[in-house]
Amino acid sequence: MIYQIPFIAVALLVLIGLYAVVFKRNLIKIVIGITLIESGVNLFLITLGFREGSIAPIYHGTEEATRSLPVPQALTLTSIVIGVAVLALMLSFIVYIYRHYNTLDVRKIVGGDEE
């Protein structure tokens, strides 16, 4: 009905996050990009399970209706909690790296070809 707008939003979210991961040099900006990619994937799973004119898979009594698909929603629920756990682990390593190298720039940390 609405001309694929949620799928286009998914593609743009993943591309913006990928831009931040590939081209930014600050480590926290890279982590923000990873968070954006993960949000895009979650939105993609939920959008795949949506049916036109459906209601949520939660029953009150026994009425019959079209329901949206429950399995992608359950997997997305698992994915969100894993996402925040992995984000906390990444940020802990970033704080450790900052205390060791005293910088957040990726190319200075790996001893890059700048100077």
Which position among 69, 100, 109, 111 is part of the footprint of another protein (CB under 8 A)? 69
7 is a contact residue toward another protein (CB under 8 A): yes
70 is a contact residue toward another protein (CB under 8 A): yes
Kind and range of the H or E run holding 88: helix 70-101
Cα distance between residue 79 and residue 37, in whole Å: 12
The count of residues interacting with another protein (CB under 8 A) is: 83
Burial of 38 (0-12, 13-18, 19+ CB in 10 A): buried
19 is a contact residue toward another protein (CB under 8 A): yes
Which position among 34, 63, 77, 100 is part of the footprint of another protein (CB under 8 A)? 77
Cα–Cα distance list, 45 to 10, 89, 91, 94 (Å): 10, 24, 26, 30
101 is a contact residue toward another protein (CB under 8 A): no
34 is a contact residue toward another protein (CB under 8 A): no
